[in-house]
Chain A
């Protein structure tokens, strides 16, 4: 590790820990920091309601923010590096649209007699979203082989997004208001809907995706030179490309399944980290982006809590309010972002 990086990573972890505690304290009921630490360390708290709020709602939500932030940021980073395109990300390439389609089919296809889903089963939603995401990724990947043109891929992602949107519209037309609303709420993005049993699925999947991404740091570094150079130094694109796609679909797919399509984090965080820390080595960039994504999403959640304590402000509104200026600032600052990211 280059000099000075131990400290910087430690600093990021400390910031993350601080925001984590702040996030736990905020909500409809304010809980003092002292009590939070007491409850977390297992000391019997004087206020049983606080204990329950913390364990049942706030802790799962904060952990989800951690997982979602790092997962989306890392999958965005991987896509940007694989496609050598600064505008790539799970959302821009239509992967989240695929996940949305998967969930829409799952939630609403019963209405037109295609599919009978007996109950709301979390793993089933996750599976549908992951399947949708993987489907889009494979499509993009096949196109990448044929086209070798990032611009065409972006247009393809846009098309896939529109196509998914169209199918969802058709499904909505035939579905009852209740199901449409369930789907709409899902698309707003939310960290609060994830409870412990669901976290037991999300966390391991995200950890597997992150570990896989970190294991791919070396080939990802070689990909910075472009695919042809990467192949020439011994990167087997036939093996590495599917692994990157698997990691990305696990990360983006699982988070999108449980939290809805969270916008901008996957696109903005890698750029922010590169700009702030001036690094391109994925061995270091990946952990920094993981921490950065988690920090950004925690910040968004804290902001949502401050703006509407206890209310359900759509998460996407906040991440976009955060993310869009970042992307704008980047484009204005770099002028030629396509050439130097």
Chain B
């Protein structure tokens, strides 16, 4: 597989009055057909890297090859034909229609007056189809919802062609469904059109769910960038290293960061999923840690005597059950027993005790 973009010993930063180095020694290879999520804490230099990869700003040192050619040797038009962008800049022009926006993507391919040829029309139609925005073509841009508008801006970038597609936070301000939709769309585009797609994002959940590769920029400028399969980066600790800062802890099981809370008490928690999971979540948020113990659960279910033995050890037992009406929480501590029909009710009781 031939790399779309290759960086060797790359230093990025700004030349404004004097050189400001943001990060050095970047080694990077972007291959076609892959969706790469570029992640890192604020201030790590994501935007600078993205701007450098886009050819908007020149590297301070090192080598950056776009399809084998050093990027600084390419004209703006050549770059525009190879790289297309989706930026966070708001686009609002009252009369601008969706079709016109997508057609503007053909800018580097059309003549000096912008007339559309057969190939241009085809590219525009393909872009509208693959983003499922064809039915919006005659709408004015400002009348669209945020999710639709983002799809149209992606369609514009697709119409532009080019093997490298760079997106800056394309899922910001979108609801969950649209976020997932956009990411799957990008992954599909990467695979079907053999593009290298790079998405700068802060949404770890989404990136773990959809990315082919993660590119992590650790907060510390001296730490090297980590690149790899998302799951590999979770397991080898790269993710924790990139984002983890006390007091935050990384849960390798779920791939989430959390802030440890004071430990008030521990309880046994058993029962059917998914209610058990959500019970665990709400209790943890209130400083109550849960221990899931299959043996205790069985004994609790089997006989009150056996539970009493556990209860003498001091910890309460919560048993989640599902019945015809819904979920039920059976709480027992020592001789005290009570049933709750919502987590709120259970929580009220627990907050009295702990």
Residues of A in contact with B (beta carbons under 8 Å apart)? 215, 217-218, 221-222, 224-226, 228-229, 231-236, 274, 278-281, 283, 334, 339-341
Residues of B in contact with A (beta carbons under 8 Å apart)? 54, 56, 76-77, 79-81, 83-85, 87, 89-97, 100-101, 104-105, 107-108, 110, 112-114, 142, 160
Residues of B within 8 A of A278 (CB): 95
Residues of A within 8 A of B76 (CB): 231, 234-236
Nearest chain B CB to A334's CB is how many angstroms away?
A: 8
Can you list 24 A-B contacts (CB < 8 A)?
A215-B112, A218-B113, A218-B114, A221-B104, A221-B114, A224-B91, A224-B93, A225-B93, A225-B104, A226-B89, A226-B90, A228-B56, A228-B85, A229-B89, A232-B56, A232-B80, A232-B87, A233-B80, A234-B107, A235-B76, A236-B76, A281-B100, A283-B113, A334-B94
Residues of A within 8 A of B93 (CB): 224-225, 280, 340-341
Residues of A within 8 A of B87 (CB): 226, 228-229, 232
Q: Please measure, in the bound complex, the distance between the C-alpha atom of A60 and the C-alpha atom of B153, giving whole angstroms.
A: 49
Nearest chain B CB to A50's CB is how many angstroms away?
A: 44
Contact A283 B105, beta carbon cutoff 8 Å: no
Q: Please measure, in the bound complex, the distance between the C-alpha atom of A226 and the C-alpha atom of B76, giving whole angstroms.
A: 17
Q: Please measure, in the bound complex, the distance between the C-alpha atom of A190 and the C-alpha atom of B288, giving whole angstroms.
A: 83
Contact B85 A232, beta carbon cutoff 8 Å: yes
Of all chain B residues, the one with the shortest Cβ separation from A341 is: B94
Residues of B within 8 A of A229 (CB): 85, 87, 89, 91, 104
Residues of A within 8 A of B100 (CB): 221, 280-281
Residues of B within 8 A of A224 (CB): 91, 93, 96, 104
Contact A222 B104, beta carbon cutoff 8 Å: yes
Residues of A within 8 A of B107 (CB): 218, 222, 233-235
Nearest chain B CB to A147's CB is how many angstroms away?
A: 14
Residues of B within 8 A of A222 (CB): 104, 107
Contact B77 A339, beta carbon cutoff 8 Å: no
Nearest chain A CB to B187's CB is how many angstroms away?
A: 22
Of all chain A residues, the one with the shortest Cβ separation from B101 is: A225
Which of A215, A280, A334, A341 has the most chain B CB atoms inside 10 A of its CB?
A280
Q: Please measure, in the bound complex, the distance between the C-alpha atom of A218 and the C-alpha atom of B91, giving whole angstroms.
A: 17
Residues of A within 8 A of B110 (CB): 218
Contact partner of B114 (CB less than 8 A), chosen from A217, A228, A232, A274, is A217
Contact B112 A218, beta carbon cutoff 8 Å: yes
Residues of B within 8 A of A215 (CB): 112
Nearest chain A CB to B96's CB is how many angstroms away?
A: 5
